[in-house]
Amino acid sequence: MKIVADQNIPQIKPAFSTLGNIELLPGREITRDRLSDCQCLLVRTITTIDKKLLRNTPVQFIGSATIGTDHVDLDYLKQQGIAFSNAAGCNAEAAAEYVISGIFALSQQKKFDPFTRKAGIIGCGNVGSNLLKKLQVLGIEVLVCDPLKAERSDNTIDTVDFDTIVRECDLISLHVPLTHQGRYPTYHLFNHQSLSQLREGCLLINAARGSVVDNRALSQVIAKRPDLITFLDTWENEPNLSRSLLDDVDLATSHIAGYSVEGRLRGTQMILNAACQTFNKAASWQMADHLSDPTEINITKSNSTLDYWQQLFHKHHNIWQDNLALKNTSELNDAEFARHFDSLRRVYPDRFEYDRYRLLTSIDKKTAAKVRRLFPIE
CA angle 247/222/341 to nearest 5° reads 30
Contact predicate 19/282, CB 8 Å: no
Nearest to 273 by CA among 5, 15, 9: 15
Which residue ranges does the chain devote to CATH 3.40.50.720?
Answer: 2-86+259-285, 92-252
Q: Please state the pTM of the whole predicted model.
A: 0.91
Contact predicate 124/148, CB 8 Å: no
Please report the sign of the dihedral spanned by the C-alpha atoms of residue 101, residue 104, residue 105, residue 110: positive
pLDDT, tens digit (0-9, with 9 covering 90-100), for 64-77: 999 889 899 999 99
Q: Topology of 2-86+259-285 in CATH?
A: Rossmann fold (3.40.50)
* Cβ neighbours for 323, distance < 8 A, ≥ 6 positions apart: 251, 252, 253
Please report the sign of the dihedral spanned by the C-alpha atoms of residue 223, residue 224, residue 229, residue 233: negative
- 366: enclosing H helix or E strand: helix 365-372
CATH class in words for 290-372:
alpha beta
Contact predicate 253/326, CB 8 Å: yes
Q: Above 70 in pLDDT, residue 377? A: no
Average pLDDT over the chain, rounded to whole?
A: 95
Amino acid identity, position 90: C
Amino acid identity, position 123: G
pLDDT, tens digit (0-9, with 9 covering 90-100), for 241-289: 999 999 999 999 999 999 999 999 999 999 999 999 999 999 999 999 9
- Look at residue 361 in the predicted model and tell me its pLDDT: 76
Give the pLDDT band of residue 53 (cuts 50, 70, 90): very high
Instruction: Tell me the sheet residues that pair with 297.
Output: 359
pLDDT, tens digit (0-9, with 9 covering 90-100), for 185-229: 999 999 999 999 999 999 999 999 999 999 999 999 999 999 999
Contact predicate 80/52, CB 8 Å: no
Catalytic residues: 209, 238, 255
Return the SS3 of 41.
Answer: strand
Looking at domain 92-252, which of 2.60.40.10, 3.30.930.10, 3.30.70.890, 3.40.50.720 is its CATH number? 3.40.50.720
- Look at residue 300 in the predicted model and tell me its pLDDT: 84
Q: Above 80 in pLDDT, residue 5? A: yes
Q: Above 70 in pLDDT, residue 293? A: yes
